[in-house]
């Protein structure tokens, strides 16, 4: 019989690695979109004046097409990963995706100093956006499945790491605007940082299976009588390991099919879709055009990165972190989907702030403080309900189906992002 030694001692290290894995899934793309000023200048010859791209000149429709080419592969490959994960080894999907993302960012960074026609640069950039999000979809979906095998609090840590990635990119944008760094130097920083972060994430992933505490869950066979993911993180880990060995001697039960797993988690899948559809419908497409009127009047360079991106990501992170201490409403309660739906009130609230330019709707909330309050509550509830949906989904299935549930939930997360991005085009027309 095998005994796990020192598992409780390295549970903290496992927690840190899971957090870094979460950060590593979204940090590359967050830094890519933070460099929009650089892409705008190279495609139309003009740069921004207030930290956001020019709105009057976009001959390549870069903003619209970049959103479209980001969401399509994200949606398509999270869906495909829900089925192909059973046929392609986990290490190939996760480590392989990280390597390709690293190579794509090295290419993007090298192009900063390469002169070429706008048409060629546009084509290369669009192709890069597609492949970054394609590999990012496989990576994120696979890691959600991996983390789903661990105790529920690790799901919260993973999603908290994703939120922190947004905070870092927002701070980078703010510092770039304050220091008035030239666009090429900023772009190099935006692209080299994800290269370092991706290498760190890859190292963390390769270390994880060698930690005793992680092996206790990641190598466990399917069990129905004892859900090892619910074992307390105490010195009883070695006792749990002994139980695990007994179960592994029993005949292995086949995993449920994807439709069978979906039947158990469809409510949480619908909730996570709704959360991200509401969030992406106004952030950042609508909120990025909010102009300061109050505390930040005349400080346009810091208003957007600070009050839109940093405030959103900090409050989103707080919301996700709360789920490790508070889990209300419960996964069986009808109040949970109700509260998720009620977040729709933030859409008109943020649209009626000082978003410019506008034609049809009046400005009802003119002061910066109203915008900050709405943005804070909007972001915190987004993080809280998104993280709780993902965590509840893996709790609703047996341990053997946790990876399938994680992959499916990532697809519905991507579906919410795509729906929200599509709705944002309509909302921009009616402001």
State the DSSP string of 144-190.
HHHHTTS-HHHHHHHHHHHHHHHHHHHHHHHHHHHHT--HHHHHHHH
Inter-helix orientation angle 368-395/258-282, to 10°: 180
Identify the structural domains of the chain with CATH numbers, from first to last.
Answer: 11-221+255-430 (1.20.1250.20)
Query: Rounded CA gap, 268 and 276, in Å?
Result: 12
Per-residue pLDDT of 200-259, as tens digits, reads: 999 999 999 888 888 888 876 444 333 445 544 444 444 444 444 444 444 556 788 888
Residue closest to 287 by CA, chosen among 372, 355, 359: 355
pTM of the model: 0.79
Question: How many Cβ atoms are within 10 Å of 224's Cβ, its own excluded?
Answer: 11
Tokens of residue 431, six digits = 């402001």
Torsion of CA 87, 88, 94, 96, to 10 degrees: -160
Per-residue pLDDT of 329-347, as tens digits, reads: 999 999 999 999 999 999 9
Q: Is the pLDDT of residue 195 over 70?
A: yes
Phi, psi at 355, each rounded to 5°: -80, 130
Higher per-residue pLDDT: 408 or 224: 408
By the 8 A CB rule, do 27 and 162 touch? no
State the DSSP string of 348-406.
HHHHTBSBSS-SSS--SB-SHHHHHHHHHHHHHHHHHHHHHHHHHHHHTS-GGGHHHHH
Query: Rounded CA gap, 348 and 332, in Å?
Result: 30
Per-residue pLDDT of 47-73, as tens digits, reads: 444 444 444 445 666 766 777 788 889
User: Distance between terminal CA atoms of the chain?
Assistant: 67
Query: Rounded CA gap, 369 and 327, in Å?
Result: 29
Return the SS3 of 331.
coil
């Amino acid at each position: 019989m095998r005994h796990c030694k020192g598992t409780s001692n390295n549970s903290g290290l496992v927690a840190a690695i899971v957090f870094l894995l979460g950060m590593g899934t979204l940090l590359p793309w967050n830094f890519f979109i933070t460099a929009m000023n650089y892409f705008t200048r190279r495609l139309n010859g003009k740069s921004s004046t207030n930290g956001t791209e020019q709105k009057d000149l976009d001959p390549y429709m870069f903003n619209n097409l970049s959103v479209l080419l980001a969401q399509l592969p994200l949606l398509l490959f999270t869906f495909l990963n829900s089925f192909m994960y059973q046929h392609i080894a986990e290490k190939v999907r996760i480590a392989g995706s990280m390597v390709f993302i690293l190579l794509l960012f090295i290419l993007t960074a090298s192009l900063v100093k390469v002169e070429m026609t706008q048409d060629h640069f546009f084509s290369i950039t669009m192709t890069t956006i597609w492949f970054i999000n394609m590999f990012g979809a496989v990576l994120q979906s696979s890691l959600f499945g991996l983390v789903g095998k661990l105790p529920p609090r690790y799901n919260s840590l993973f999603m908290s790491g994703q939120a922190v990635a947004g905070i870092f990119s927002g701070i980078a944008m703010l510092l770039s605007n304050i220091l008035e760094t030239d666009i090429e130097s900023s772009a190099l920083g935006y692209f080299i940082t994800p290269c370092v972060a991706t290498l760190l994430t890859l190292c963390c992933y390769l270390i994880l299976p060698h930690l005793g505490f992680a092996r206790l869950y990641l190598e466990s066979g399917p069990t129905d009588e004892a859900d090892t993911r619910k074992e307390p993180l105490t010195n009883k880990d070695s006792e749990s390991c002994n139980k695990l060995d007994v179960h592994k001697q029993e005949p292995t039960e086949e995993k449920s099919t994807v439709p069978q797993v979906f039947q158990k988690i469809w409510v949480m899948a619908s909730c996570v879709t709704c959360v991200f559809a509401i969030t992406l419908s106004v952030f950042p497409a609508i909120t990025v055009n909010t102009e300061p009127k109050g505390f930040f009047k005349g400080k346009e360079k810091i208003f957007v990165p600070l009050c839109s991106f940093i405030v959103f990501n900090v409050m989103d992170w707080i919301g996700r972190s709360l789920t490790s201490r508070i889990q209300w409403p419960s996964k069986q309660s009808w109040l949970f989907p109700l509260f998720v739906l009620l977040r729709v009130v933030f859409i008109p609230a943020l649209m009626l702030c000082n978003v410019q330019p506008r034609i049809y709707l009046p400005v009802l909330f003119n002061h910066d403080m109203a915008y900050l309050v709405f943005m804070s509550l909007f972001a915190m509830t987004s993080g809280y309900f998104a993280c709780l949906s993902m965590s509840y989904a893996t709790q609703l299935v047996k341990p053997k189906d946790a990876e399938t549930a994680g992959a499916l939930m990532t697809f519905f997360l991507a579906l919410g992002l795509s729906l929200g991005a599509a709705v944002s085009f309509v909302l921009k027309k009616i402001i």
